[in-house]
């Protein structure tokens, strides 16, 4: 049987909605006064915390309903360094996708040294996406004037493989939440910033401004991903309360996971490196095309919307195989094994 709200919970919730009181420090004395208590028990405090979570979800829903998108378009953006052929190929395919749906497409291409200078003292290229997000938010009103309501980031090694899917369909499914993101393909990390839909809102702007300042993660593994999770935890979005979290682990929740401001998709629905279900046999004597990412991967799993080369041993060859299996013409694109010379830069 599902647990039903206690009388105390219902009463406090109604009081908070009526008076506009928010936050633990304000709800605590309100609870004391209404129930005539000098000291609160553990159960009383738990009740207050439950009300706080419910109020957060309620307020976020009210905000979404009062700002339902009159701005319905999506701006797609990406970035890569000049020595990254995978980035060039993915950007070309993703721009075709954007053109099909009428999405403005923005792409920063710059030498590795310039990218690292732009994000210093951060020392991982993934931080550059946050720099671009901040840049867009500086012109948020100008973007809204162009009917743009969401930003869509796609990593340099990620490519849209089903161009029939409109980003707006995910936005509707997520009920216009501020951040639409995929679960990570690694159980060690909850979410993956390789592909994100970011609403042009004050909440989003504040979130990404704080992510940018998270010095602790400038050079710590998962980098901007870890910084984002820390900021979401600070905002008590509730992701950490869902255990298990990932849809592909035993007992994991299936379908879209909805939080006050965040929607988390199963990885196959938005951003996945799964390609064992390409429908073609790959004959590669060097065995550098790893169509199976791990022993836990299910047979015939395939990214449905965006394929992300994250974790693949030879991204160029794997990407080429995936695009050819999906009938993309890449004959004019220079897609080769990577020969990065980054660490020889003065």
Question: Strands of 73-81's sheet, edge to edge?
Answer: 105-110, 73-81, 148-154, 191-199, 179-183, 262-265, 257-258
Q: What is the pTM of this model?
A: 0.85
> What does the pLDDT read at residue 299?
67
Question: Roughly what angle, to the nearest 10 degrees, separates helices 42-66 and 7-19?
Answer: 40
Q: Which residues pair with 195 in a beta bridge?
A: 154
Return the structure tokens found at 256.
């879209």
Half-sphere exposure of 232 (CA within 13 A, CB side): 23
At which residue do the structure tokens 């550098």 appear? 288
Residue 43 in tokens: 């159960």
Domain ranges within the chain, ordered by starting residue? 7-66, 73-270
Q: Residue 328 region, left (φ>0) first, then alpha (ψ -120 to 50), else beta? A: beta
User: Which residues of the chain are modeled with pLDDT < 50?
Assistant: 1-3, 280-285, 287, 338-346
CB atoms < 10 A from the CB of 251, how many? 6
The span from the CA of 173 to the CA of 264, in Å, is 11
What span, in angstroms and rounded, lies between the C-alpha atoms of 142 and 121? 30
Q: How far apart are CA 342 and CA 346, in angstroms?
A: 9
Question: CATH classification of 73-270, choosing from 3.30.450.40, 3.90.550.10, 3.20.20.10, 3.40.50.720?
Answer: 3.90.550.10
- Residue 343 is predicted with a pLDDT of 43
Q: What is the pLDDT of residue 75?
A: 98
Task: Please report the pLDDT score of residue 298 as a whole number.
Answer: 65
């Amino acid at each position: 049987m599902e647990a039903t709200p206690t009388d105390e919970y219902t009463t406090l919730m109604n009081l908070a909605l009526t008076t506009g009181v928010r936050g633990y420090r304000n709800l605590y004395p309100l609870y004391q006064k209404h129930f005539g208590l000098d000291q609160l028990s553990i159960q009383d405090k738990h009740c207050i915390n439950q009300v706080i979570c419910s109020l957060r979800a309620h307020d976020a829903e009210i905000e979404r309903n009062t700002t339902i998108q009159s701005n319905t378009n999506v701006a797609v953006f990406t970035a890569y360094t000049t020595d990254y052929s995978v980035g060039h190929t993915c950007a070309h395919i993703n721009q075709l996708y954007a053109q099909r749906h009428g999405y403005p497409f923005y792409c920063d291409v710059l030498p590795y040294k310039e990218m690292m200078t732009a994000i210093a003292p951060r020392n991982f290229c993934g931080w550059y996406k946050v720099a671009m997000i901040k840049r867009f938010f500086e012109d948020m009103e100008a973007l809204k004037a162009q009917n743009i309501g969401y930003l869509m980031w796609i990593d340099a090694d990620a490519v849209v493989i089903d161009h029939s899917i409109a980003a707006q369909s995910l936005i509707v499914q997520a009920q216009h939440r501020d951040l639409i993101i995929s679960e990570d393909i690694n159980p060690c990390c909850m979410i993956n910033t390789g592909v994100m839909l970011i609403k042009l809102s004050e909440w989003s702007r504040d979130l990404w401004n704080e992510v940018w300042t998270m010095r602790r993660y400038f050079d710590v593994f998962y980098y901007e991903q870890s910084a984002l999770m820390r900021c979401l935890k600070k905002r008590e979005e509730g992701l950490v309360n869902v255990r298990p979290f990932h849809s592909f682990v035993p007992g994991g929740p299936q379908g879209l996971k909805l939080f006050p401001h965040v929607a988390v998709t199963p990885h196959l629905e938005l951003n996945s490196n799964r390609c064992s279900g390409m429908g073609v046999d790959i004959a590669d004597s060097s065995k550098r095309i790893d169509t199976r990412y791990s022993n836990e991967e299910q047979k015939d799993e395939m990214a449905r919307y965006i394929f992300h080369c994250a974790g693949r041993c030879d991204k160029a060859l794997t990407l080429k195989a995936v695009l050819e299996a999906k009938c993309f013409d890449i004959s004019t694109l220079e897609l080769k094994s990577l020969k990065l010379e980054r660490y020889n830069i003065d």
